[in-house]
Amino acid sequence: MKYTQLGRTGLKVSRLVLGTMNFGPQTDEADSHAIMDAALDTGINFFDTANVYGWAENKGRTESIIGNWFAKGGERRDKVVLATKVYGNMAVDGEAWPNHDKLSALNIRRAVDASLKRLQTDYIDVYQFHHIDRSTPFEEIWQAIDVLVQQGKILYAGSSNFPGYKIAQANETAARRGRTIGLVSEQCLYNLAERRAEMEVIPAAQEYGLGVIPWSPLHGGLLGGVIRKEVQGGRRASGRAADTLADPASRAQIQAYEDLLDKHGIEPGEAALAWLLTRPGVTGPIVGPRTAEQLESAVRASELELSDELLTSLDEIFPGPGPSPEAFAW
């Protein structure tokens, strides 16, 4: 496994990030523990979760599964760079009591203590804001984060789903407060089929020294050989992938992608991950395996070298938006 620095920090993280969103809803606790053990065995040391994972009446379940795994010992916690998130409504019935969601100083304080309890640890390496909070000023957010850092409960702060201008606002506010380090990472939707982040988000992250952590690297399964699986009678597309394939032009684009990779003898899902690892500013994509076999495929992707010819062909099938402002101006 290859490692890199997380943005401008001294923190070394693996080029693959283990996403845990499926732990609980789709993967039971025993299998989740086995996947985390296998991830460590392959050298993956960066684990990502969120307080809302588990969803619906099981919100927090995923953090609890990770906490039970840490409790097994064997230096599990010491070997992991742990990232979790705050923002979501944690009420089981969906009706949040005032100040029990988003990024007020009160909710941040409450949420971090709850996450620490579920995770059975006394600190979080990277505490991420899961979404922008239009109602809370960054001065208040950073004040809350500074207290948590002083208390030793978190080490770094990161963002998720932030537009470029919010990354700038957050870090400029941090600088005015005398913080030498503001946000250290941005977790955003980014893959071959969804490249809008290249216009503003990734340039802002690079300008301010944030590591970029793409989520949904296979775009909901669309880039994982979905048409071939459909033809072979395997798992049918659902959600975002099914909606995309319903459009004839989009289906033809995905078919061209799968045909290209078949010609090169490369699995589509592995190529999509390998492509992200060639992108400027990317620390590592988040992979969310439901099985040990899916984890093994992701690890193979991290070792895959894509030729210049193949990279050019991928750009022809999935052209990016181009740099900002040229993408939308003269």
Catalytic residues: 53
Amino acid at 239: G
Residue 280 Cα to chain centre, angstroms: 16
The whole-angstrom separation of Cα 218 and Cα 125 is: 26
Going by C-alpha positions, the residue among 226, 205, 225, 224 that lies closest to residue 214 is: 205
Distances in Å between the alpha carbon of 131 and those of 88, 155, 179, 203?
Answer: 8, 19, 21, 19
The whole-angstrom separation of Cα 194 and Cα 319 is: 10
The whole-angstrom separation of Cα 256 and Cα 313 is: 10
Going by C-alpha positions, the residue among 220, 317, 217 that lies closest to residue 263 is: 317
